Amino acid sequence: MVAAPAPAGLAGRSLAVAAGLVADALVGEPPARWHPVAGFGRVMGAVERAGYRDRRRAGIAYAAAGTALAAGAGLLAARGG
């Protein structure tokens, strides 16, 4: 797996920021139903409702589940789907 090279230096980062601002101005944010951060929040809310206990071990499991979910999503995004 080879990632595409990132634009180099300040000029590349500035171009990426400008492209993001233009895209946001043209398209805007997706509705909450489709927004990835809102989806993550819904999933983690369900995990918390299912497994909440006032115990340290449950909190560790909750944090591990959130970390695994975010890492898995990042790996899928890096692979292109």
pLDDT tens track for 12-45: 889 989 998 999 899 988 888 988 899 999 999 9
42 vs 9: which has the higher pLDDT: 42
d(CA 67, CA 40) in angstroms, rounded, equals 11
Mean pLDDT taken over the chain: 88
8 vs 71: which has the higher pLDDT: 71
Q: Of 61, 81, 80, whose CA–CA distance to 3 is shortest?
A: 80
Q: What length does the chain have?
A: 81
Q: 59-68: long-range contacts at Cβ-Cβ below 8 A with a sequence spacing of 24 or more?
A: 66/40
Residue 14 · residue 36 · CB < 8 Å: no
